[in-house]
Amino acid sequence: MPRIPKKPHLPDCHDHSSTENDILQTSESPVLFSEIIHLILDNFSAARADEKQDLLNIAMVSKAWCREAQAKLFAVIHVNSADRCKFWSRKFKKSPHLGLLVRELRLSDPHDNCLERPYMRTQPAKALALACSNVRKVEVGEFKRWGQVEQRVLKSFVSVQELSLLYSPALSRTRDVPDLIYNLPKLCKFGVGIVGEDYRFVESSSVHEDGLFLREQLPPNGKPIQLSHITFWCSEYCRDLFLWMTGPAFDHSKLEHVTLSWRDIIVPHMSDHRSIPNVDVLSDFLRIVGQHLSSLSLILPAQPHPILLLRTPRIDLMSEYLQSSKVLNNLTQLRVLTIRIGKDVRYWERDVTFGLFRVLPILSVLEVPLLATINLTVDINMDELESDDRYQLPLWEILDSLLSGDRFPSLRSFNWDIQADHWPSQAALAPRLSESDLVRYKGKILNCLPGTVSKRNVVNVNLVVH
C-alpha cells in the first residue's frame, strides 16, 4: 500500500469540499487497480471527522487514490439553507467532475422564515440539480413551503432510484407525491413519513376519500409503477397511501421489501386525538403484496402509551392487531423478518427479556413456511444482564419451543442484536468489559434456549456494549 503522508499540506476547512483546490494530486504512485483501492476505502465515511481527514490525506498519494477518495468525500451532500445551496452550486461549477460523484442528496429548509425567497426557487438550486446528474438517492426533509418550482427541481433528478419523503408538511399527498412517483423513471425505492400539514388530525373520512381518488389514478404513460422497496415510517397515518398502492397504478411483482413503522396509538376519544390504525386497508395491502414480498421489517414503538401501561400484555395496539388478525400469514414468500424495538429516553429501564415481551405475540401466530431469517434488535440496560431471575422466565421456554419446533421449518438463523448501555450517571465509571465477559453473557442467553441450540444451532447473539 502506498505510503500516506503524516501531515499533508491541505487548506484548513470545515467541510469536506471547502478546499479551493478540491483535493490535491501528487505524482503517481505504483499502479493499483481501481477495484482494489475501492475495496480498501469501502469502509471509510466522510461523515466522521477523523475518517474525512484520512480521506483527504489519502487523496494526496496519487491520481488513482485521489479519484477514489473524492468519490467517498462527495458521495453524500447536505443542503439545508440558501447558503449551502450557493456553496455547492459554486463548487460544482468550478469542478464539474465533483458534482458527478454525488450519489445521495439530502434536501431540507428547516429555518425558512417564510419572508425571503425559498432557495429551491433560485438559480443555484437549478444549477445544483444539473450538476448532480448522477445522484441515486434524494432525501427530502422539512420544507415549510413547497410549490411547482420545487416540484420541477426534484423531478429533474431523473437518475434517482430512491426517494425518501421524511417530514414534509408542505407537500400535498394527493398531488405532489403521485407526481414525483410517476415522473422519476428509474425510481425503485420509496419511503414516506409525515407528509402534508397536520395530516394526522384530518378526519378519517376525508383521508379515505383521498385514498379512493388516488386509487383511481394511473401514471401518465399508463404503465404501472414497479417498486422493489417501500417504507412507511408512520404507517398509522397512511390509509390513503395504502389504498393508492392497492390500485392499478402499481405493479408489485418486483416488490422485495416493505418496512412498517408506527408509534403507539390510543382510542379516538383520548385527549391527543390519535386514532386506531386503519387496519383494514393495511390488511388489503399486505394481502396484495404477500405473494411477492420476501423481506419485511417491523419497527415497533419503544413503549406503549402511558394510558396503556396497565394493559396485559404491555404491547401496542398495532402489534395486538398483527397478532389477532394473523394478517402476516398472507406473506407466503416471506424469507426475512426483521423486528426492531424503537429507542426512547427510558431505554435503560429495559432488561434482557424486553424484546421477547414485544415479539413473541407476533412470532407465536406467524406461519410462513419459507421464513429463513429472523432478526431482532433491541436496546437494554447493561446492568440487567446480571439479573439471573430474568433468565428463568417462561418467555424463554416459549421462544425455545418456537425456534426448535416445526413452526418455522426453513429457519436458518435467529439473529439477536442487543445494544447494551449503562445508566447515564454511571456510564463514565463503568468498567470496560472484556471479551470473556461478553462470551459469558452470550452463554447465559444461549443456555436459555437448549432445544434450539442442540437441534438447529440457529441462534446468533451479537452483544454490543456502549
Which has the closest alpha carbon to 278: 312, 234, 332, 311? 234
User: Strands, DSSP E only, in 318-423?
Assistant: 336-341, 373-381, 413-421
Calpha distance 216→200 (Å, rounded):
23
Calpha distance 168→144 (Å, rounded):
8
> pLDDT value at position 269?
39
> 347 with 421: CB under 8 angstroms?
yes
CB atoms within 10 A of CB 73: 23
- Sorted by where each begins, the domain ranges of the chain are 1-73, 74-465
Determine whether 460 is exposed, middle or buried from the number of CB atoms within 10 Å of its CB (0-12, 13-18, 19+). Answer: middle
Cα radius of gyration rounded to whole Å, the chain? 25
Reading the block at residue 396, the C-alpha cell is: 424463554
The side-by-side arrangement of strands in the sheet containing 257-261 is: 76-79, 104-109, 137-143, 162-168, 189-195, 229-232, 257-261, 295-300, 336-341, 373-381, 413-421, 459-465
> 222 with 249: CB under 8 angstroms?
no
pLDDT digit string, tens, across residues 49-75: 556 666 666 666 667 777 777 777 888
Question: Fold for domain 74-465?
Answer: 3.80.10
Interacting residues of 405 by C-beta distance below 8 A, sequence separation 6+: none
> pLDDT value at position 352?
76
DSSP string, 96-163: HHHHTT--EEEEEETT--SSSPPGGGSHHHHHHHHH-TT--EEEEEEES---HHHHHHHHT-TT--EE
Residues of the chain whose pLDDT is less than 50?
1-2, 4-32, 266-275, 305-313, 345
The SS3 call for residue 373 is: strand
> pLDDT value at position 305?
43
Calpha distance 353→380 (Å, rounded):
9
Calpha distance 141→164 (Å, rounded):
8
> pLDDT value at position 266?
47
pLDDT digit string, tens, across residues 22-39: 443 444 444 445 666 666
Reading the block at residue 284, the C-alpha cell is: 388489503
Q: Is the pTM of this model over 0.75?
A: yes
Interacting residues of 364 by C-beta distance below 8 A, sequence separation 6+: 323, 398, 402
